[in-house]
Each structure stands twice: as C-alpha cells, then as structure tokens.
Structure 1
Amino acid sequence: MVSPFERLKEDHAQDWQAYVEHRFVRELATGELPQAAFQHYLKQDYLFLIQFARAWGLAVYKSRDLSDLRQSLDSLKAIVDIELGLHIDYCASWGISEADLAGLAESRATLAYTRYVLDAGMSGDLLDLHVALAPCIIGYGEIANGITTSNGRQSSARHEGNPYAAWIDMYAGRDYQDLVQAELNWMNARLAQVDATRFSQLSRVFRDATRLEADFWQMGLDLR
C-alpha cells in the first residue's frame, strides 16, 4: 500500500524528479559541479537555515499539543544551537568566512522558497508547514541515498576524490536518515487523517514547494 507521502510524490512525479535529479545534484554526485556553484549554494543555504529556524519557531506557535510543541522546539534549537555553527565551520573549509556570510543578501530563489514556507505556515496549520518543508527535509535524504546506495538513481556517482563527499555523507548518514524517517512517520500519520479535499490542498503546497526547491538548485548553477 502506498503511503500518503508517496501519494504526494506520485501526484507530482515530474516536479519531484526535476528536483531530486536536477543537474546540480547530478554534478554534485560525480564531483563535476563547479566549485563556484557549490560555494554560492553554501552561502545562500546559510540564509536559508536562518529562515528555516524561523519556520520551526512558527511550528512551535502552531503546535496544538505537547508532543508537537516539543518536536518543533527541538528542531528550532537544533538549527540555532548546532546546525548553524556546523554550517559556518563547513563554509570556512570552503574559504567562506563568517563575516562573508553575515554580509550576504538573499537571492530571489532563497526569498521565494523561504517566504513561501513561512506563508504556508502562517495561512495554514502545522501540517501545511510540514508539507511545505518536506521537499527540503525529506528530499535531501532521498537525494543522498540516491547518490550513495548501490541501487540509487545516480549510477555515475563518485565518492573517492569527490570534493562534495562530506556534504553527501552528512545527508546519507544515520543521524540525518533517522530524522527523515521521523518526519515521514509524523507526516504519514497526519496525512492519513485528512479527507480528499484537504489532501488536494496539501498536494498543491507540496507541488509548489518542490518547484521552489528545484529553483534553489538552479540558483546555485546560475550564481545569482
């Protein structure tokens, strides 16, 4: 039986494929991605993380029970207390200083996706917010698995000598994959409770968020 989240993906299979098999991802897997493109992506991803933290802050507000409140707060604290610091350190290894990050302006793609997520959460409920975040949270895990597993979609992937191996390993690693599974479990449980009309509404949110995530990859290639 297909899970509710898999139904979302099936409803928008072309958009999902365009996202998880984007040229940026393919070249990341083979190590052929221009380093300037990756560095530009890293810079904008720092700004994305800040907005991502705001989204989890909104999730705290939107939570209706203690379990969801704790989950949202834990996610917020993980970004603010851990992930941003790790990202700053990783950027430094690519020659990008914290001062460089602090002076950045958001690209149009960063603005478009992050504000879409926040608007979905503000105008909807906690499930709308999670669905808008799903292409990022769940998609990154699927992309990394597609690169690293023997039956994954990236058959030309290269690990040894790949300058992006550490990034790939982070999202393919157990800690992140466990986070993905927890998010899938949460979403599938809630999506299973909605009627057809509500599922259709959430499907549109998922479609738009997926397209905006693909634009985020393209932003890295376009250097804008």
Structure 2
Amino acid sequence: MFSHQLPKAADPILQAIYDHPFVQGIGDGHVDDAALKFYVEQDFQYLSEFIKIYASIIPLLKNREDMRFFAENIDFILNSEIHPHHIFCDIAGVEYESLQHATPSPKAYLYQSHMYRAVQSGKLINIICALLPCPWTYNEIAKQITALGKNTDDNQFKSWIDFYMDDGEASDGDLTRRLFDMVDNLAANLGEDDLIEAKQYFLKSTELEWEFWQQAFYQEGWRFADVIEGGKNE
C-alpha cells in the first residue's frame, strides 16, 4: 500500500529527528529556554498557515464525513494545540502572548511555501502528503520517548509528550491513521507519476520537520533581520 511506502521511505529522516538534540532534550527533560521560545514563536506562525492548508482541502471533498473530519481538526489546531505551546512557555518562563508576532524564519517560510505549492497543484493527495508529516512525526516522537522509558512524572515535558501520544484525535494515532487511509484511497486511482509527485511532498515535508527542530535549537532566523524587519514599515 502507498501509505506503507511513505513512512518507509522517510525513515532515515525520522531517525534523524529522533536523534536531534532538541528532541533528545525533550526526552531528557531539558531544552534551553531560548530554543523553546524560538520554537513557539515559529510554530505559532506555522500553525496559523497550517489551518489555512486544512481549510483548502474542504472544497475538494465530496462527502460530509470527510468535511467534518477536517473541520474538527481545524478547530483542534485553533483551540487545543496551544496546550503544548503553553507547556514550553511555562518551562521557559515567558508569556505566550509575547511570542505570537514573530516574522517566519527562513526555514518556516520555506515550509509554508512548500505546503502552499501543494495546494496550488490542485491535487488532494499532494496536499494531504504535504501536511501529514507534521502530525505523523510528532506522534512518532512521543511514542519513541515513551518507549525509551523517558515519559516519566519527573520529566517536565511529560504533558507535552502525552499530548502528542494522543495524536490530536481520540488516541492511538487516529489522526495519522485516518490521513494515511485517505492517501491510500486517493492513490488507488492514480498513475505512477502522480504517486512519485505525492511522495516527494511527503518526504520534503518530513525533512522540513527536521529543519524546524534545527532552526529552533540554534535560533536560525534571518541573517539580515534588521533589513527585512525595517522594510516592513516602509
């Protein structure tokens, strides 16, 4: 099945995400405050665009059950996915509201542009493959940390890990499983070229998930931020 091919192809990237010092730090219970703040600043902006990507899917759907699924996930991102942001903010000792006005970093900007390119393709499978690595990798991170016995009561990130173990839906990877099932249903009617294209969206989004951790850990913003930020007011 096509949905089995995608995680298998992306596994080297997923392993690198597991090994990333930011993700390792979540498992070990310590990440520098500066990295946590940069992450929240950028993820707030990213999720604002992610909501729009989800919304772009609804006009392409044919049945109300699928419409309900995506509408509920838009509501989840808007109203529930602020919880892990609050966890990072509490640990870093910063007010969440103070981190909601950042300019998207180069890597975040690239990730957003990549997803919009999927939307512009007009192909539902491309859009789902572009957004799927976000919930998929976070669920896998939480499962990996838990499997290693690091999701303990004395880990200050425990509630963050628990949140992504639930995968944003009922539990047990429901969200990602539903999205992978949709990918399989769409793939059944597509030719090889379309499947290659969809896989590229999935793999590139998976790498961009790694890049997101990387940019936050090292606070990789715009090199000429003073010029870019100054230009916003001209």
TM-score tier, shorter chain, comes to 0.7 to 0.9
| 1:115 corresponds to | 113
SS in 2 for 1:159: coil
Is contact 1:159–1:165 with CA below 8 Å preserved after alignment? Answer: yes
Q: Tell me whether 1:163 sits opposite 2:163 in the alignment.
A: no
Q: Would you say the 8 A contact 1:59–1:126 is kept in 2?
A: yes
**Mapped pair 1:219 → 2:215:** yes
**Given that residues 37 and 221 in structure 1 are in contact (C-alpha distance below 8 angstroms), is that contact kept between their aligned partners in structure 2?**
yes
After superposition, the CA RMSD in angstroms is 2.4
After superposition, the Cα gap between the structure-2 partners of 1:89 and 1:15, relative to the gap in structure 1 and judged at 3 Å, is closer
Q: CA deviation at 1:20?
A: 4.0
Residue 186, structure 1, aligned to residue 182, structure 2 = yes
User: In 2, distance between residues paired with 1:40 and 1:178?
Assistant: 29
CA-CA distance at 1:98 after TM superposition: 4.1
CA distance in 2 between partners of 1:134 and 1:85 (Å): 19
State how many pairs are aligned. Answer: 216
Corresponding letter in the other structure for 1:172: M
- Quote how far apart the aligned CAs of 1:125 are: 1.5
| TM-score normalised according to structure 2 size | 0.80
Q: Compared with structure 1, are the counterparts of its residues 191 and 19 closer, same or farther at alpha carbon in structure 2 (3 Å cutoff)?
A: farther
Offset at residue 200 of structure 1 (A): 1.0
Seq. identity, %: 23
CA displacement at 1:68 relative to structure 2: 2.8
Contact 2:151 2:161 in 1 (8 A): no
Name the structure 2 match of 1:135: 133
Shift of 1:97: 2.2
Residue in 1 that maps onto 2:232: none
Shift of 1:23: 2.7
| 8 Å Cα contact 1:31/1:158 also seen in 2 | no
Q: Which runs of 5+ in 1 are unaligned?
A: 150-154
CA contact under 8 A between 1:130 and 1:187: conserved in structure 2?
yes
The whole-number CA distance in structure 2 between the counterparts of 1:37 and 1:181 is: 30
> Which amino acid in structure 2 is aligned with residue 14 of structure 1?
P
2:202 maps to which of 192, 202, 206: 206
Task: Tell me the alpha carbon deviations over residues 40-93 of structure 1, each in whole angstroms, 9 at most, x when there is no partner.
Answer: 21222111111111111111233244333332222222223x125535644553
Q: 2:21, 2:85 → 1: CA distance?
A: 25
Whole-Å separation in 2 of the counterparts to 1:48 and 1:64: 27
Taking the TM superposition and a 5 Å limit, the aligned residue runs for 1:1-224 are 3-80=1-78, 82-83=79-80, 85-86=82-83, 89-90=86-87, 92-94=89-91, 95-149=93-147, 155=148, 157=150, 159-173=152-166, 175-176=170-171, 177-224=173-220
- TM-score, normalised relative to structure 1: 0.84
**How far apart in 2 are the matches of 1:36 and 1:85?**
19
SS state at 2:73 partner: helix
Separation in 2, partners of 1:90, 1:173: 16
Q: Give me the whole-angstrom Cα distance separating, in 2, the residues matched to 1:92 and 1:22.
A: 21
